[in-house]
Amino acid sequence: MMKINKMDTDAQMRAIILQKLIENGEGAQLQELLRAKLFECGWKDQIKAHLHFLNWSLFCRMNFPSLGNNVLY
């Protein structure tokens, strides 16, 4: 008896759904809706702020290794 791998089944289902979305043109509509919702909630600004924090954190760790993880941001 062959055991069905759940990850393979999930991947197949995702592929089928994606194909159907592309075929009927709803994929582009969903992508645009997601883009608009992310813009509305300020997601891009939050990501920029987080990346700025990560860059500052890395800068401090590289230039002040004696402080370790005790640098206040």
Q: What is the pTM of this model?
A: 0.48
Is residue 54, in this structure, part of any structural domain at all?
yes
- Nearest alpha-carbon partner for 70 in 61, 59, 31, 34: 61
Range of the domain at 36: 7-67
DSSP state of 66: G
Is residue 72, in this structure, part of any structural domain at all?
no
pLDDT in tens, 22-34: 899 898 899 899 9
Q: How confident is the model at residue 8 (pLDDT cuts 50, 70, 90)?
A: confident
Q: How many domains does the chain have?
A: 1
pLDDT in tens, 35-64: 999 999 998 889 999 999 988 888 888 888
Helix axes 43-63, 26-40, angle to 10 degrees: 60
Is residue 73, in this structure, part of any structural domain at all?
no
Is residue 60, in this structure, part of any structural domain at all?
yes
In angstroms, the CA 14 to CA 56 distance is 38
